[in-house]
Amino acid sequence: MNFPFSLAKEYKEDEEKHDYVQQAGNSEALSIEVLGDETDHNGRKHRSLGQNNQQEPLKKPLIQTNPLLSEVYLTHGIKLTIPRYILERVMSESKATNSDQKHPENTTEVYAIHGAEPEVLAYAMAKYSRSALTMRESLAEISSQRAEQFLNTFYFQYGHRSIADLAHIPFAIEKLSMLAAIALVDEARWDGQERSTRYQDFRRSGWYVPQLSTVARRNYQHAIEALFLSYDAISLGMFDALKAAIPCPAEMKPADYHRTLKARAFDAARYLLPLATNTSLGQIVNARTLESQVSRLLSSPFAEIRNLGVSLRKAASEPAWNVQRDKLEQLAGEGAVDAAATSEILNDLMPPVRTAPTLVKYAEPSEYQIASREELSHAARELMRDAEGNPAEIYPAPTVDLLDDDEDLEVELATSLLYGCCHYSYRQLRGAVAALSEPRRNELLKLGHAHRGKHDELLRAFSSGHGFRFDILMDIGAFRDMHRHRRCIQLIQEFSDVHGYEEPVCPGQPTLAEAGLEPAYKAAMDSALAAYRALCDSEELEAKQSAQYLLPMGMRCRAMFKMDFAEALYIAELRSGIAGHFSYRKVAWEMYRAIAARHPALAGLFRIEDVNLPVDLLKR
């Protein structure tokens, strides 16, 4: 029989006793032989008293001093003394188990799971830690009501938040602005895909309109329409310029040739797409990420983003769209299947499924995030003032600034907390923070956690200890692509007009001037900036937020990326490839150059080519 518990043992060797304790848990079960009260044994040396073993002649009889105790001999000559009632219970249970079950060796089972509700599946997986049931057995006995009871207890009361990592939920989010999409995907644990500005024409997408007065709304619409007209003009004009500069090779199909050049033309035209442009995306996230995502969106200063948080929470709480159920109802309506059978199938096999009603029901706006953002923004404004009390001038900064790592941790944390609340470079901001007294710096650190609640994670700015920190100034379109990298910490500054805008320049491709498009491009950008500033300075509700929708993607923005060396190499190699957009190719190249200058021995590890060299524009 098997004795699977932790046991205190005695090992007899040459009449010497060596006591030790076997820890509970992963040890192998031990075979045991039970000797009755009158059984004799060889006390001098004993290896095993299995069924086929023979005992040596009796030399030293055992004196049973306590009738309530029984002696058990284990394999390898180990003796155990335990209470008789425990032994009898273990033997009875073990006998029943061994008679009912057989355990063949090397029978690992692997199977995929489909069709279980996310919260039910999360409960079933969590049961692995406390139950010996298989996944099939657990799913057969768990209902959505039992899953809800379990999650209410272990997730919300006991704080076992990792349980929510086991529930994965797909969402389709359609017709949201690019500005809202950037906020939506700003999660470290996020998987999804968004519409591409390279392969789709966005002039038919429409745009988001914030709540504005009649006059402000009319001016807003006029500014957006003007940008889309310019987007069309630049796209068509650059396509013609590309055709004139690059003839179609004989071996290339005309359809492939036109499609490739059109993508290159869209790369140039995307600089004029406003952040109000509608896009669509799909995401697959676990319930813990969804909960923090919803809470963060509900805490946004943007009305559209707050409403998006409400919609996500509602979508997770209401019955999800079931493609198979929808198809079956359609077939029943067409008479292709029996209507009565369809009703039975829908009720029994395809009941409405709510994907995460329990795990997101308490997702609310985060007072920690809201209050911290307000107080840190005020602290940044007060810190970055000149001698006359006016906002300090923003110093010029390179596209990519690889920061040194010789600063104190307190300085890095305080600077990072303020970084997302202003438009200064990290280096300039750090200089002001480092000049503060220690008590004043500690006050800034306190602002970052003063409002933290029981279940709040620390603000992202507290993430530290990364060997490579890049302060990057790039256009919004390039940031939108760089934003997809999840194995790094990203601190993002608010979009504005303070850094000016970029022009589309790609080595080997006609410039705007060469294509005769430069005046139209600059006029469109300047007109959009004028509309942005007018709305920003107005008395409209959430005027500064509403104005950001008018900013074209060619505007520069600043973001901090903290990462390890492997991620830095990965980004530099991936984003510098000739198939990528030239705006982020330049960023990736500058990241490589900064690392190579500081760590020459590492430069040879990069598989990278100079992005300033002309490329074959027909090669994707």
* pLDDT per position as a tens digit, 298-352: 999 999 999 999 999 999 988 888 777 676 666 666 666 676 666 666 666 677 7
CA distance 78 to 12: 7
pLDDT at 19 over 50: no
Confidence (pLDDT) at 54: 45
Tokens of 182: 């950037």
Residue 449 pLDDT greater than 90, yes or no: yes
Q: What percent of the chain is modeled with pLDDT above 70?
A: 77
Q: Is the pLDDT of residue 93 over 90?
A: no
Q: Tokens representing 150?
A: 């379990």
Task: Name 32's bridge partners.
Answer: 74
Highest mean pLDDT among 41-45, 89-93, 298-302, 577-581: 298-302
Rg (CA), the chain: 34
Check residue 183 and give its pLDDT: 98
Question: Which has the closest alpha carbon to 552: 304, 320, 207, 295?
Answer: 207
Q: What average pLDDT does range 565-579 have in this prediction?
A: 95
8-state DSSP, 153:
I
Average pLDDT over residues 466-487: 96
**pLDDT at res. 11:** 33
What are the pLDDT digits (tens) for 597-617? 999 999 999 999 899 998 888
Asked if 401 contacts 559 with a C-beta cutoff of 8 angstroms, the reply is no
Q: Six-digit token pair at 584?
A: 């982020």
Closest CA to 384 of 424, 442, 417: 424
Taking Cα atoms as reference points, which of 302, 353, 351, 361 lies closest to residue 328?
351
Q: Name the residue among 210, 249, 268 with its Cα closest to residue 521.
A: 268
In the chain, % of residues over pLDDT 90: 58
What would the two tokens of residue 461 be?
């700015």
From 316-330, 365-379, 457-471, the region with the lowest mean pLDDT:
316-330
Mean pLDDT of 283-295: 92
For 580-595, the DSSP string reads S-HHHHHHHHHHHHHH
pLDDT digits (tens, 9 = 90+) for 126-161: 878 778 888 888 888 776 666 667 666 655 554 556
**Domains in the chain: boundaries:** 2-100, 118-166
**Region of residue 558 (phi > 0: left; psi between -120 and 50: alpha; otherwise: beta):** beta
Flag whether pLDDT at 252 surpasses 70. yes
d(CA 563, CA 568): 7
CA quadruple 447, 449, 453, 459: dihedral sign: positive
Question: Do you know the residue count of the chain?
Answer: 620
* Predicted local confidence at residue 519, as pLDDT: 97
> Is residue 236 predicted with pLDDT exceeding 50?
yes
Q: What is the pTM of this model?
A: 0.80
The amino acid at 553: M
Distance CA 547, CA 495 (A): 10
- Are 69 and 84 in contact, with CB atoms under 8 Å apart? yes
Tell me the one-letter amino acid at 574: L
| Chain Cα centroid distance, residue 123 | 22
Predicted local confidence at residue 411, as pLDDT? 97
- Phi and psi at residue 318, to the nearest 5°: -95, 165
Chain centre to alpha carbon of residue 461: 16
| Residue 5 reports pLDDT greater than 80 | no
Q: Where are the beta strands (DSSP E) in 106-218?
A: 168-177, 191-194
